[in-house]
Structure 1
Amino acid sequence: MQVERLEMQGVLRLSPARFGDSRGWFSESWNHKRLQELGIKEDFVQDNRSWSASVGTVRGLHFQAPPNAQAKLVQVVQGAIFDVVVDLRRSSPSYGKWMGIDLTAETGQQLFIPAGFAHGFVTRKDGTEILYKCSDYYSPKAEGAIRFDDPDLGIDWGIDPAKAILSDKDARAGAFKDFQSPFA
C-alpha cells in the first residue's frame, strides 16, 4: 500500500495495491496491522455505506464532536466523488482551511481523515456508492454540520451550488463564522 501525506496534517491518501489477471483484480482495502505500521492507530468500529443516485449530490460537511469524534477511512466502490475536508482543530495552522481530492472506484484510492475535520463530498457520477470506516460509533448528540457553500470557507465543489442536491438537514447547516469548535 502506498501512502501519500497531503497538505493538512494527518490527512492521507492511501493507494492499496491491486493484483490482476484475466478474471479482474484483487485488493486488500483494509488491514489493521498494516495501517498501524503506517501510523494510523485508530481502531475502526463502524462501517457506513452511502449511495447517491445523481451527479451533484452533496453530503456534508459533517463531523462528530468529542467525546465521539470520528476518524474516517473513505473509499468509493462505485462511481466517483470530489471528497472535501475542513480542518476544525483550533490549534492547527490549517484551521478553517479546506482541501479536496478526487476519489474513484477505478483507482481504488482511499482518504484517511483524522478526528477534528468536517467531511463532505459531491458525486461526479450517477449511482455513486462510498464505503467508509469510522473510529467511533454514530452519536446523534455529537453530530454537527457546516454549510457546504459557506462563503468564509470558499470551497470549490466544481458544481453550481444552486443546483446541488442536498438533504434538508444539510440545507439547514450553520455558518462557519458561527461555529465554536470543540476540537483543541
Structure 2
Amino acid sequence: MIFHPLPLAGAFLIEPEPIRDQRGFFARTVCRKEFAEHGLNAEFVQQSLSWNEQQGTLRGMHYQVQERKEAKLVRVAAGSIYDVLLDLRDQESTYLQWYSVELSAINRMHIYIPPGVAHGFLTLSDHCEVIYQMTAFYDPTAARGVRWDDPVFGIEWPQAVDLLMSAQDKSWPLWVRES
C-alpha cells in the first residue's frame, strides 16, 4: 500500500499496490503493521455498506463525539463519489478546512479519516456502493452532523441543486462549536 498524506492532519489517501498476473491482481487494503507505521488505527470494530441508487445523492456531513470519536476507512466498490472530509478538531491548524477527492471502483483508492473529522459524499454516478470500516461502534447519542452547505466551511460541491438527501442531513444546524 502507498500512503499519501492529505492536507488534513492524520488523513491519508491509500493506494493499493496490485500484484498482477494472468488472472488479474491481488492487493492488500489493510495491514495493521503498515497502518501503525503511519500512526493510523486499524482496529476496525464495525463495517458498513452504503448503497446509493442515483447520481446526485448526498450523504453527510457526519461524525461522532466524545469517547465515540471514530476513524473511518472508506472505499467505493461500485460507481464513483466526490468524497469530502471536514476538520472539526479545534486543536489542529486545519480546523474548519475541508478536503475532497474522487473515489471510484476504477481507481480503488481508500481514504482514511481520523477521529474528529466529519465525512460526507456526493454520488457521481448511479448505483454507487460505498464501504466503511470504523474504529468505534455507532452510537446514536454521539452521532452528529453539520450542514453540507454551511457558509462557514465553504465546501465546493460539483453539484448543488436537485440533490437527493435524507431529512436528517437536510436539517443539520449551521455550525456551532461544541464545548
Which TM-score applies when normalising by structure 2? Answer: 0.95
Q: Output the CA distance in 2 between the equivalents of 1:28 and 1:7.
A: 24
Question: Which position in structure 2 is the counterpart of 1:162?
Answer: 161
Deviation at 1:42, TM superposition (A): 4.3
Q: Which amino acid aligns with 1:164?
A: L
Q: Which amino acid aligns with 2:171?
A: R
Pair 1:25-2:25 in alignment: yes
Counterpart contact for 1:89–1:181, Cα < 8 Å = no
Q: Output the CA distance in 1 between the equivalents of 2:30 and 2:94.
A: 28
Q: Which amino acid aligns with 2:87?
A: D
Q: Output the CA distance in 1 between the equivalents of 2:57 and 2:25.
A: 29
Q: Output the CA distance in 2 between the equivalents of 1:181 and 1:98.
A: 18
Which TM-score applies when normalising by structure 1? Answer: 0.92
Q: How many residues align?
A: 179
Runs of 4+, deviation exceeding 6 Å: none
Q: Secondary structure at the match of 1:29?
A: coil
Identity %: 34
Q: Which ranges in structure 1 are unaligned for 5 or more consecutive residues? A: none
Q: Output the CA distance in 1 between the equivalents of 2:38 and 2:67.
A: 25
Counterpart contact for 2:10–2:40, Cα < 8 Å = no
Task: Map 1:125-136 onto structure 2 (within 5 A).
Answer: 125-136=125-136
Pair 1:181-2:170 in alignment: no
Question: Which position in structure 1 is the counterpart of 2:5?
Answer: 5
Q: Which amino acid aligns with 1:44?
A: F
> Which whole-Å deviations, capped at 9, do the CAs of 1:46-74 have from their partners, x for residues lacking one?
11110101111000000000110010011
Deviation at 1:96, TM superposition (A): 1.1
Cα 1:25–1:42 shift into 2, 3 Å = closer
